[in-house]
Amino acid sequence: MAHPKRRKSYSKKMMGRSHHALKQKSIAECTNCGEIARPHHVCQSCGYYNGRQIIQQKADTNDA
Give tens-digit pLDDT for 15-26.
999 999 999 999
Query: In the prediction, which pLDDT does 62 show?
Result: 63
- Whole-angstrom distance, CA of residue 15 vs CA of residue 11: 6
Q: What mean pLDDT do residues 24-30 have?
A: 92
Query: In the prediction, which pLDDT does 2 show?
Result: 87
Q: What is the pTM of this model?
A: 0.55
Please indicate, yes or no, if residue 11 is contained in any of the structural domains.
Answer: no
Please indicate, yes or no, if residue 5 is contained in any of the structural domains.
Answer: no
Please indicate, yes or no, if residue 37 is contained in any of the structural domains.
Answer: yes
* Structural domains of the chain, count: 1
- Whole-angstrom distance, CA of residue 37 vs CA of residue 42: 8
Please indicate, yes or no, if residue 41 is contained in any of the structural domains.
Answer: yes
